[in-house]
Structure 1
Amino acid sequence: MLSWALTFLVVALIAAALGFSGIAGSAAWIAQVLFGLFLILFIISLIFRGRPPVA
């Protein structure tokens, strides 16, 4: 998921450099959403890491 966020970030930067503001804005928004989702899932995985499975 982090790789997808970085991919959209690169697409946004290239589109912004070429002047495609609509595409750049959309790609940057998608990158932000994916990165936020990655952080939430990462924190949840850290919290539940050492617990044994519930039977």
Structure 2
Amino acid sequence: MREFARTLGIARGTVHTRMRRLERLGVIADHAPRLSPAQLGSPFWRSSTFISRTGSSHG
């Protein structure tokens, strides 16, 4: 949240409050990590399996 606050030029508490409200409203449905294959390294990337929830029903 610190990065969002810095980018938007608002307090972290404000970002937190707004994000929680958006979660309650269903605007933000899920939080997922964004991975960088270059930072993870080739051995890790090749041996990892990721499961996608695309098309599943949430709620």
- TM-score, reference length from structure 1: 0.34
- TM-score, reference length from structure 2: 0.32
Per chain length, whose mean CA-contact separation is higher, i.e. which structure has more relative contact order (CA < 8 Å, sep 6+)? 1
Q: Which structure dedicates a bigger proportion of its chain to helix? A: 1
